[in-house]
Structure 1
Amino acid sequence: MSADKSAPAKLKARQPRGFVDRGPADVAATERMLAVIRGSFSLYGFDPVETPFVEYTDALGKFLPDQDRPNEGVFSFRDDDEQWLSLRYDLTAPLARHVAENFDALPKPYRGYQVGYVFRNEKPGPGRFRQFMQFDADIVGSSSVAADAEICMLAADTMEKLGIKRGDYVVKVNNRKVLDGVMDAAGIDRDARLTVLRAVDKADKFPLEEVGKLLRGGRKDESGDFTKGAGLSEAQAETILRYLAVGQRLAELGKSTASDSARSAELSAEAVTELRTLVEGAENGVAGIEELEQIRELVTAAGYLGRIIIDPSVVRGLEYYTGPVYEVELTFPVTNEDGQVVRFGSVAGGGRYDGLVGRFRPEPVPAAGFSIGVSRLYSALKAVKSPIVDQKNELPLVVVTAMDNKSPEFMPAYQAFVSQLRQAKDGQGRALCRADLYLGSSGFNAQMKYADRRGATCAIIQGSSEREAGTVVIKDLVLGAELAAAGRDVKDSAEHKERQAQAQFSVPVGELVAGVRRVIERHARA
């Protein structure tokens, strides 16, 4: 018999490129992480705000870094009134629109934070997605670099609250004005500056000699791929390399201990003097150095020196930054996809964007903020085994089996069991557990496999004999798995038999919650 050729073909289940699904463990761990970040930002006086995923395209502006598809960095479409709309590519541009639109109603300076997905129409690749989550904090209406220092301190405190130990991260600070001043003083053409910025951005990955190749004619990597350079003259390239060398010395000074403070201050003054020489004649460069010195004084007074350091290699890719820029780098080693041991790298960054809100207002509106890359930070927390992403922090799950699921008259009793468990509290008045009533049509063995697959701590069983006796069986699935894995030599031991009795026991229906609490507390102690 031939197949029915008229039957429609089945759809193929597939993800769009650059997008990912997340399972329950990742979602739950991310929510715990976000709760910690919210608490940290709230302590600094930031208030929550939420902006839509979609904005008018002209409100977002064209500030994305020039990457593989510089003219197609956003997902855009036309509305029915022929207006162009786009999915937001970050949270800063929508915040600027929100503040401008509600300017008179908001307190100034305004402190706001928001979390949400952003979208970039880029070529996807390893670790590079078209949808990802950001968590932003912004201060709008303050031109003082104290706002920049405050954000850097917030970033440091948030890392530690998330379980990143002091010494495993550093907040690096630079100023766009300084590098602009260096390029002005060196006479570097505007057309070459974007390539120079990209080369400078590689200073934390390559030796200065390799960066120099990117500043001059170009660089060939180990695979033979060639990257065209900025085409600077020898004198211009040497100026940029001197600038980076000063930055490296300043970065090391920032890590100095209190016992080295006198020598640190002396060397810092020498480094700043050299930076002033590099920007001589460039007014914006001198102003940038003064701002970096002010930030250094502020974070030193607050006790953050070493956690927050001056590093002129920090560039940041978005074009709307106008002054100080900052980046949170995790310094602990990890193994990359090629098996190489490398530093984890950046998980957050931001800076001052004094022109962004002012696009909507008749007067200039200064602003500064930073953004945490939530997915990348989540990977970092897993790498350092932060308790925040440990699944043990999740409420234990109890599965109530339905032995007689073919007989509707018994379901109300099973429903009563899960209701009791969902309302049960632990010793601190918090929820004791999550409870799941099996709603499928499979038999008992399949139901137990279901409970195992869901990672349940225990299962509740009531068949006809238990129903007649007014009891339920509580099966400790965690202990049962441990006993099953035990070697044969312990099967007949007294301890093993005692633990078997603990792994499956009966209680009166009225003691269901007490019995489940006993199992949960057993594993909480372990």
Structure 2
Amino acid sequence: MTDASSRPEARAPRGFADRRARDLSAERTLIARVSEVYERWGFEPLETPAFEYADALGKFLPDADRPNAGVFALQDDDDQWMALRYDHTAPLARFAAENWQNLPKPFRRYAFGPVWRNEKPGPGRFREFMQCDADTVGSDRPESDAEIVAMACEGLTAAGLGEGQAVLRVADRRLFDGLFDEGGVTDAGQRLTALRAVDKYDRLGWEGVRDLLGAGRLDESGDYTRGAGLDATLICRIEGFLKAEQAGGWTDRIDRLADAGGLGAAGAAALESLERIGAAVRALGAPEGAVAFDPAVVRGLEYYTAAVFEAELLLETTDEKGRPVRFGSIGGGGRYDDLVARFTGERVPATGFSFGVSRLAAALRAAGRAPAEPRGPVVVIVFDDDGMTHGLGCAAEIRRAGIAAEVYLGRAGMKTQMKYADRRASPAAVILGGDEIAQGMATVKDLDAGRAAAAGLADNAAWKAERPGQVTVPRADLVPTLRQIIEEVSRNGAPGG
């Protein structure tokens, strides 16, 4: 044994979380459901490495002024910087550039897996999280944006969100390009700061955004954020622009912006594209109200060039104490026509959407909509070393029948073994005592039936007397008995599940 003073403290790094079966099962279920939608729409799966060269990822995250800012980076033995991917889009651009000659064009792919961001962690904000993306590379048609939007709606429905529980908001970065052009804002950094201010509109409201568009803002914690330094006239125009969302439907909002003018050639092109996206989304059968044009959507990443999308959760959610919780954005994306050109020098149009798997799973759980808790294996219980080989053979027999099973391999008595089976959420326990082994029998305890019956009996003595859900059967009948219990649970659900 090591001295206590020299032992490391058992702790997970800040911003990283351990996840057990409940969370993993929920995420895998979401990924499977959404992947089925993406493949039905003709998108193929692609997996890229967790690490990319830092120059291939680019500096698109906010405040990323050095190779290891915003990302987790290290130097390879040849002194090249590598970094963990911060999303699935930048690796796709590298893959497309590297393999473009051999790919079907347009190239349609989806991907899922963890991403990492070296940002300050906080409540519900992790440095490692799961994302699922779908992208089309090689089409400049607004209809390809519309297809991504409509497919994202279907994917969110497959994930478990019903009518009115999410909305996918659509806009176009070129609307602001037109505003800036007409307002004489030519500095790229100033434009980006202004866009990031607008991106906070849903969280800070107009007053907070106005401050960030101007001199800057002092938040409640005392931290000061420098503003974009726009003049008052342009800030006033942006206010009217953002409030166009209060107009009627998709076409009404476009007409209002067109009538207001002052958007220049870039803004006019954006409005034309948005008209075509709206028509295509309707043709693709997206549910009424599931997609909306919202000029306040700009997205925070720098690489978007035209249409942008953001999925907002409308589902009512609460925390462990029943207090309302707002999840807000659960996904987003847009058009990034310049990303592949970073490698090739030739512009390759691309568009895509990504949703946060971990975030959506947490939201569904907060709304009481999480998938059923994963069930544990059948636990085979033996009482001594002489019975162990019989227990191992019994578990193997059960597994050959396609049922998950394990032998309890600790050194404890009946009570502890039963508690273990309960904590594993096992549907049943198989008890192999000396009498059962000698007689070629097995005692099967239906744990779910036992839990339900125990909850309805007056006291522990009555529970013991009635021995709910327990039966002794010949070994030849063991598997059919277990299968009947598991099928009953599948039909009716586990008590409390």
Could you tell me the TM-score, scaled by structure 1's length? 0.86
Determine whether 1:379 maps to 2:359. no
* Pairing 1:485-496 to 2, within 5 Å after superposition: 485-488=455-458
- Residues 1:271 and 2:268 aligned together: no
CA offset digits 1:301-347 (Å, max 9, x no partner): 23325211111111111111111111111112334799874543111
Report deviation, 1:225.
5.5
Change in 2 beyond 3 A, CA 1:10/1:212: closer
- Counterpart-to-counterpart distance in 2, 1:200 and 1:390: 39
**Where do 1:288-367 residues align within 5 Å?**
288-304=270-286, 305-335=288-318, 341=324, 343-367=326-350
| Native 8 Å contact 2:312 2:330 kept in 1 | yes
Once the two structures are superposed, residues 126-162 of structure 1 have per-residue CA deviations (whole angstroms, 9 ceiling, x without a partner) of 2222211111111111111111111001110001111
C-alpha deviations, 1:464-502, integer Å up to 9, x for none? 11112221111122222333333428976xxx899x355
| 1:160-199 alignment, distance < 5 Å | 160-188=157-185, 190=187, 191-199=189-197
SS at match of 2:102: coil
Residue in 1 that maps onto 2:419: 449
Write the distance in 2 (CA, Å) between the matches of 1:455 and 1:22: 17
- Code of the residue aligned with 1:270 in structure 2: it is D
Name the counterpart of 1:518: 484
In the alignment, the residues of structure 2 paired with residue 362 and residue 63 of structure 1 have an alpha-carbon distance, to the nearest angstrom, of 18
Q: Among 234, 237, 244, which residue is 2:235 paired with?
A: 237
Q: Which amino acid aligns with 1:134?
A: Q
Contact 2:378 2:405 in 1 (8 A): yes
Q: Which amino acid aligns with 1:418?
A: A
CA distance, structure 1, for counterparts of residue 273 and residue 73 of structure 2: 38
Which residue is equivalent to 1:143? 140
Q: Secondary structure at the match of 2:134?
A: strand
Preserved CA contact (<8 Å) 2:54 2:67: no
> Does residue 464 of the first structure (1) align with residue 444 of the second (2)?
no
Cα distance between partner residues in 2 of 1:197 and 1:357: 23
Identity of aligned residues (%): 46
Contact 2:73 2:82 in 1 (8 A): yes
Q: Offset at 1:194?
A: 2.8
Distance 2:391 2:321 in 1: 52
Q: Report how far residue 103 of structure 1 moved.
A: 1.1
Q: Distance in 2 between matches of 1:268 and 1:84?
A: 46
The CA distance in 2 between the partners of 1:437 and 1:382, in whole Å, is: 32
Counterpart in 1 of 2:383?
Answer: 403
SS of corresponding position for 2:164: coil
Q: 1:174 to 1:524 in 2, by over 3 A?
A: same
Distance 1:70 1:326, change over 3 A: farther
Instruction: Give 1:179 deviation, angstroms.
Output: 0.9
Q: Give 1:413's match in structure 2, choosing from 386, 390, 415.
A: 390
Q: 1:402 to 1:68 in 2, by over 3 A?
A: farther
Structure 2: stretches of 5+ with no match in the other structure? 493-497
Distance 1:317 1:71, change over 3 A: farther
Distance 1:488 1:503, change over 3 A: same
Check whether the contact 2:375–2:427 (CA below 8 A) recurs between aligned residues. no
Residue 218 (structure 1) shift? 4.0
**Alignment correspondent of 1:286:** 268
Query: Which residue does the alignment assign to 2:495?
Result: none
Return the match for 1:77 from 74, 77, 83.
Answer: 74
C-alpha change, 1:223 and 1:357, in structure 2 (3 Å) is: closer
Instruction: State whether residues 33 and 162 of structure 1, in contact with CA within 8 Å, keep that contact through their aligned partners in structure 2.
Output: yes
**Residues 90-169 of structure 1: pairs in structure 2 closer than 5 A:** 90-169=87-166
- Match for 2:449 among 469, 479, 482? 479
Contact kept? 1:472, 1:507, Cα under 8 Å: yes
Number of the residue aligned with 1:257: none
**Matches of residues 35-46 of structure 1 in structure 2 within 5 Å?**
35-46=32-43
Change (3 A) 1:93 1:403: same
Cα offset for 1:9? 2.0
Of residues 63, 66, 81, the one that matches 2:63 is 66
The Cα of 1:51 is off from its aligned counterpart by 0.6
Contact 2:442–2:475 (Cα < 8 Å) also in 1: yes
What corresponds to 2:199 in structure 1? 201
| Distance in 2 between residues matched to 1:449 and 1:300, nearest whole Å | 55
Between 1:210-219 and 1:74-83, the stretch displaced more is 210-219
Q: Which moved more, 1:411-420 or 1:211-220?
A: 211-220
Aligned residues: 490
**One-letter code of the match for 1:414?**
G
Whole-angstrom distance in 2 between the partners of 1:55 and 1:77: 11
Asked if the contact 1:186/1:239 (under 8 Å) is kept, the reply is no
Instruction: Give the 5 Å matches for 1:5-16.
Output: 9-16=6-13
CA contact (8 A) 1:353 1:368 kept: yes
Listed one character per residue, the Cα deviations across residues 370-402 of structure 1 (whole Å, up to 9, x for unaligned) are 111111011122133336x221xx355210112
Structure 2 CA distance for aligned equivalents of residues 471 and 78 of structure 1: 62
Deviation at 1:173, TM superposition (A): 0.7
Task: Rate the CA distance shift 1:20–1:298 in 2: closer, same or farther, 3 A.
Answer: same
